[in-house]
Amino acid sequence: MAVTKITTTNLTFMEKVSQIFIGMYFATLDRVKKRREYLKTLRELEKMSNRDLADLGLSRGEIKAKALKSIYKINI
């Protein structure tokens, strides 16, 4: 199977600017999506009773850290 790579080096200024803005647009969409997932995870965990959280091995103080870890892959 052959792989071909097409490179265009003769982009006009407006094409370059357009590509930059398109990249920024999709990066922003990704950030918004992750933020919504994070907030949804927080709301769902905060609704749970202390007993349910204990069954999951969590305390109320660990909710934000768990949500950050699950959505953003950040360890606190």
pLDDT digits (tens, 9 = 90+) for 21-59: 999 999 999 999 999 999 999 999 999 999 999 999 999
Which pair of structure tokens corresponds to residue 20?
């930059």
* In the chain, where the domains are located: 28-72
Residue 66's pLDDT band (boundaries 50, 70, 90)? Answer: very high
pTM over cut 0.85: no
Residue 5's pLDDT band (boundaries 50, 70, 90)? Answer: low
Contact predicate 67/40, CB 8 Å:
no
Higher pLDDT, 9 or 51: 51
Residue 6 Cα distances to 3, 38, 60, 73, angstroms: 10, 38, 52, 34
The CA angle 61-33-59, to the nearest 5 degrees, is 10
